[in-house]
Structure formats: C-alpha cells, structure tokens
Amino acid sequence: MTVQDFTSAVLRLADEGIAGVEASRSAEELEALRTALLGRKSGRLTELMRQLPSLPPDARREAGAAINRAKTALEQALEARRAALAGNGGKQAAADLTMPARRTWQGAKHPVTLVIEEIVDIFRDLGFTVATGPEAELEWYNFGALNFPPDHPAMDMHDTLYLEGDVLLRTHTSPVQVRTLQTYPPPVRIVAPGNVYRRDFFDASHAPMFAQIEGLAIDEGTSFVDLKATLIHFARRFFGASKTRFRPSFFPFTEPSAEMDVECGICEGSGCAACKNTGWMEILGSGMVHPAVLEACGVDSERYSGWAFGMGPGRIAMVRHDIPDIRLLYDSDIRFLEQFVR
Ligand SMILES: [Zn+2]
C-alpha cells in the first residue's frame, strides 16, 4: 500500500464515520458506531493503524498524522452527537416548555379585615386613634362599668361565655372604652376593633365569635350634633349613602340612644330582598355616653360629655358582598376567599 492509498483510506473512513455519527438516533447506536470505528480490538481506524509498519519508514510520520487527525475528528463528532442526544432527552425529562406557567399563590386579606381597615381609615382621618384590649375580660369592665343593672339578661350564663369566676370572654368591645378612659384623660377619640364572643348557635346568621368595631369621643361640650354629623359623614364615605336616618333605641351605656340606618344602596330606597323591602339597612347603634359610665371610668360627667357607636364589620361585609351565610366568613375556604382579592 502506498502512502497516498493509506491517507485516502483514512480520509474516507473519517468521512463515512462522521456521516454515520451524525445520522445516529440513540446513545446505543452511537456507542456501537464508536466501537466499530475506534474500538481497540477491531475498530476500522485501529485496523488501519496496524498497517502503519508496512509503510515505508519515511512515510509513516505523515500517515500517523493522518490517523491522528481522523481519530480526533471522529471523537469530536461522537462527543457532539452524544451531547445533542442527551440534550434532547434531558429537556423532555426536566421541563415541558409548552406547559402554562405556574401561578404564584398570593395571600390576601379577609373580607371582614378589609371592612375594618376601611372603617378605621375613615375615622383616622377624623382624628380617631385605634385602641385595643383583652378578649378575656373582667365582668366589671364588660358589664359593671357600663351601667348594666345586676340582673340584666346579657349577664346570664346562657348568653355570655364565662371562663372562671368573674372572668369572661367579652361580649362587646366596650371594655376597651372603659380601659381607655381609665388610662388617658379627655379629650379622647378612639375606634376599637376586635373579636367578641356570645353564647350563640353557629347558624346562617349567628356566630359565637364575631368582629365588632366601636368608637368613642369624649370632650367638653360635645353633643348629639357631633355624633350625628360624624356618623353621617362616615355613612357617606363608606356606603356612598345619600340618606341616613336615626331611630330611637335603648342601650344601658348610652342615653339617649339611636340606631342609624342608611338608605339601601341596592334598590335606592324602593325596597328589595337585601333590605327586606324596607328601603333601609341597619348599620350601627349609637348614643350619648351615660353619665354613670363616665363616673365609673373616673371622668367628671359635669365637665365632660361624649358619644359612642358600635357596628359589626362581618354583617357589613355580608351586605356589601351579598353573602347569604355568616359561616362562609369562618370556613377559610380558599375558593370563597379568593373572590375578595384585590
Ligand atoms: Zn333594598
């Protein structure tokens, strides 16, 4: 064999080999090809290499270089093809790029929390501060200081959850008003949001625990005019209500007392299912703080007067979102709560 024959045989082998490598479809096929071309025992390039000694001594150097170039080219082609095949297979296993993106799960505020925050914001603009207090409360703060007569039915075991002795779960956030007046001298303007507890059945319209928000303003010379003006301003901002009305009511801790209604925003006063055909929605109870309450809290009732109100953010959320069952507010069902994400 001449050196020209040898080198052209090597080049042909390299060309055929590379074409075969590039056409291979799997790692197994590629490995078989590698053995056939470069295998140490019977690889085709190895066979050619064994013929090197039969060439004239001065041609061996050139022939050896041709062998080495072919070997390098084949090895590079094998490596490239192996990477390409592994890349395709790997891509399928790791990620399907046609899949829709996974949504980022975001937490959100509960509809009752949103109502509380909105109410607080409106009163904060009017100079009110948020005050909080304990949920496990002494009987005196919950009833005694608030002018409840000792035989008032609310104090019955059937209505109030007593813990031990004279400790109970507060039935309203009014004890926060008492504690605030004991701590800070007037003038005082606070809103007190928080959970309260009553011994109620858990049905469509009752829950043994619910949110309440109360407000209190104590100052020299403050009157029912301030109460009305402030609460009407609140109703306009919160409900967008054009009409409000006050109806006489009774609470032990206020005198006089009044319930405030806003015109039904759904039917605009003509009557619908949401307002039980009255055209009005009851939203809060209010009144002038009873002088006996001021005295119990250590406030001079000759010098100071004040007014207070209380409302249920849960009920407001139900009216606002047309929620038919109060239990939905406590179920923590993501499908329900997601509707209020904003
Ligand atoms: Zn209505």
Return the pLDDT at 211: 95
Whether pTM > 0.75 for this model: the answer is no
Residue 329 C-alpha to ligand 1 middle, in angstroms?
22
Distance from the alpha carbon of residue 318 to the mean position of ligand 1, in angstroms: 14
Residue 75 confidence (pLDDT): 92
Q: How far is the CA of 281 from the centre of ligand 1 (A)?
A: 8
CA 108 to chain centre: 2
Cβ-count burial of 128 within 10 angstroms (0-12 exposed, 13-18 middle, 19+ buried)? Answer: buried
Å from CA of 227 to ligand 1 middle: 25
Report whether 16 contacts 48 (CB < 8 A).
Answer: no
CA of 121 to the centre of ligand 1 (A): 26
Task: State how far the alpha carbon of 132 is from the alpha carbons of 41, 89, 93, 177, 305, in Å.
Answer: 88, 61, 55, 9, 22
CA of 224 to the centre of ligand 1 (A): 28
Separation of CA 268 and ligand 1 centre (Å): 6
Q: Which 8-state DSSP code applies to residue 253?
A: T
Residues of the chain with pLDDT under 70: 88-94, 157
User: Distance from the CA of 232 to the center of ligand 1, in angstroms?
Assistant: 19
Which pLDDT score, from 0 to 100, does residue 71 have?
A: 92
Strand-pairing partners, residue 214, are 192, 310
- For ligand 1, the distance from its centroid to the CA atom of residue 263, given in whole angstroms, is 8
Task: Give residue-wise pLDDT tens across range 87-124.
Answer: 765 445 567 778 888 777 777 889 999 999 999 999 99
pLDDT in tens, 66-80: 899 999 999 999 998
Q: Which residues contact 80 (CB under 8 A, 6 or more apart)?
A: none
Tell me the CA–centroid distance for residue 280 and ligand 1, in Å.
7
DSSP states along 273-314 = TTTTTSSEEEEEEEEEEPHHHHHHTT--TTTEEEEEEEE-HH
What pLDDT score was predicted for residue 90? Answer: 46
